[in-house]
Amino acid sequence: MARDTRSIAPGVRSEVDPQIAFDRRRFLALAGVMAAGAGVPGAAARARQPDTLQEAIEDVLDEAIEGESDIPQGVDLRTIAEAEKLARLQYTNEQREQVLRTIDRQLGLIDFQRTIELRNEDGPAEVFDPRLPGMEFETRRRRAVWRNADPGPLPQNEEDIAFAPAWALSHWVRTRRLSSEDLTKLYIGRLKRLDPKLECVVTLMEDQALAQARRADEEIRAGRWRGPLHGLPWGAKDLFDTSGVRTTWGAAPYKDRVPDRDARVVQMLDEAGAVLVAKLTLGALAYGDLWFGGRTNNPWNLEQGSSGSSAGSAAAVAAGLCAFTLGTETYGSIGSPSARCGATGFRPTFGRVSRHGAMALCWSLDKVGPICRCAEDCAMVLDAIDGPDAHDRSTRDIPLNIDMTRSIEGMRIGYSKAEYKGRTATDADRETLKALEKLGAKLTPIDMPQGPFGGAIFFLIGIEAAAAFDELTRSGQDEQMRWQDDAAWPNTFRMARLAPAVEYVQAQRIRGRLMRQTAALYENIDAVIAPTRHGAMHAITNMTGHPAITLRQGFREDGTPFAVTLWGRLYEDAALLRLGHALEMELDLWRRRPSL
């Protein structure tokens, strides 16, 4: 399709279709009409003052569509009738004729909007807030309290060091038994050696990482210890912007994209003294494990994909290629690859961690969280990236207040008796319930949310993601995407363009009902547990914003791990992390390594 570049404002260029070329003078005239209709002082001198609201509306519409009122060529009553089928409606002939007489105005408004260049970071005016009226949360911020366990002497075997949890590495680096530079070199060597098998690295940041590690060692020698992550090498899902280093979003159309800023979480981890060693793979545009360079593989079974979309983050940490990683989740992109790769993934409450500088997929659903080797590592990382950010209006100033020394005795864990007695639950699921009882938790029978409400998440994801990548679809660059199956983004985005806007609002209304139902569910419990990979709870809690932790629950006969997920109360992430840590220690499965 032919393209045309017109100037929107000084220094700003925008590509638009020549058929909907932007007329700056008409835009200013339209602004004048709108200002006049709103009663802005002086507006009448710049535009005709309409006598009635109806006249004002007519003026705005006429200006927006450049005064044209002809029915677009090729659009007739049959077009309207066919469109009804996609909207699951049926109009009368009289109603179709009325729509046809005025449809040019709606099309004109669509064309008008497309003249305005929107970036991926330009989110909607509406901001999702998981809090309901009457909810109250902790406001006093307290310093994190750690167990300060002694991991013992530094192992002599490099592989033992590579697979050590971040809390142990932190102890050895802080006490100078292990230098950050040596640890970084160890991980760089493993990344180079094992990435051909795993395909989990987009960009290895060797020179920058070694410079950061040497700075960390100098600061620690001088007594300037920044905290538990100081000197620890980490990997970032390649949708977090890194200044001067390409951030590809895993997709061919963006493989040469180089941002000029760091994402907020990258800045915060740099301030914590962590060493960014690699940008890790994600399924293209945060879906699955296929990216423009290949497929990221499961360290436990190289014939199997790692799942996604935080594919490289889960694979790398599970394979001992870095101390910890960051991922993101919209529906299951932290939990799913963590389950597949045997990592521990933590999805925080919506709004706890800033998404500024991260690729937007769904503004009302995206969440940033750690993927690590154990729950205590997740707590350390979350503590470093927690907090409000003026650049992300979804963030809330609700303190994390981690205390990993507290017992979980007395915590109320909700579960469905019917599900655990049914065929969906495994022996391992039931053993996990026994482990929680042994730890002093109180198992509380609950009725899980019923109804097909969870399906609303797929409608929300499809619409918001299609909007986030509108230009990709309209430009035809979606054809460069590696994955082109029916379930892949290109087809999903195209279908979403045909969905009625009214249905998107209806999905948000369903979401509101789910929020109220879920709030009632949590009135008498602290967390929910369900049999392995409970799809409904993943869908519901992603829409309501509740936190979740996914950790190893066992191993299959072929040696691959499987997981359990627990879901906590809104903004009580610290309690869920303590629960996950206690369960992880009781099950004692987290230390087992893949044999690469």
Cβ–Cβ < 8 Å for 53, 59: no
Tokens 């009409």 -> residue:
33
Residues 181 and 178: their CA atoms lie apart, in Å, by: 9
Q: Which of 396, 409, 368, 451 is nearest to 582 (CA)?
A: 409
Residues 250 and 480: their CA atoms lie apart, in Å, by: 12
Q: Hey, what are 112's tokens?
A: 């008008």
Residues 216 and 176: their CA atoms lie apart, in Å, by: 11
Residues 539 and 481: their CA atoms lie apart, in Å, by: 26
Tokens 């299609």 -> residue:
466
313 is catalytic: no
Question: Max Cα separation, the chain?
Answer: 85
Catalytic residue among 237, 306, 313, 336: 237
Count CA atoms within 13 Å of residue 101 on its CB side. 6
Alpha helices in 469-559 (DSSP H): 470-475, 489-496, 501-521, 535-544
Return the SS3 of 408.
coil
Residues 100 and 587: their CA atoms lie apart, in Å, by: 65
Q: Hey, what are 433's tokens?
A: 């319930």
Catalytic residue among 307, 310, 333, 338: 333
Q: Hey, what are 469's tokens?
A: 């990548």
Residues 152 and 154: their CA atoms lie apart, in Å, by: 7
309 is catalytic: yes
Catalytic residue among 309, 336, 364, 394: 309
Q: What is the DSSP string of 277-334?
A: EEEE--STTTSSSEETTEE-EETTEEEEE--SSSHHHHHHHHTTSSSEEEEEESSSTT
Q: Which residues of 115-132 are buried (b: 16+ CB within 10 A; e: fewer)?
A: beeeebbebeeeebebbe
* Catalytic machinery residues: 237, 309, 333
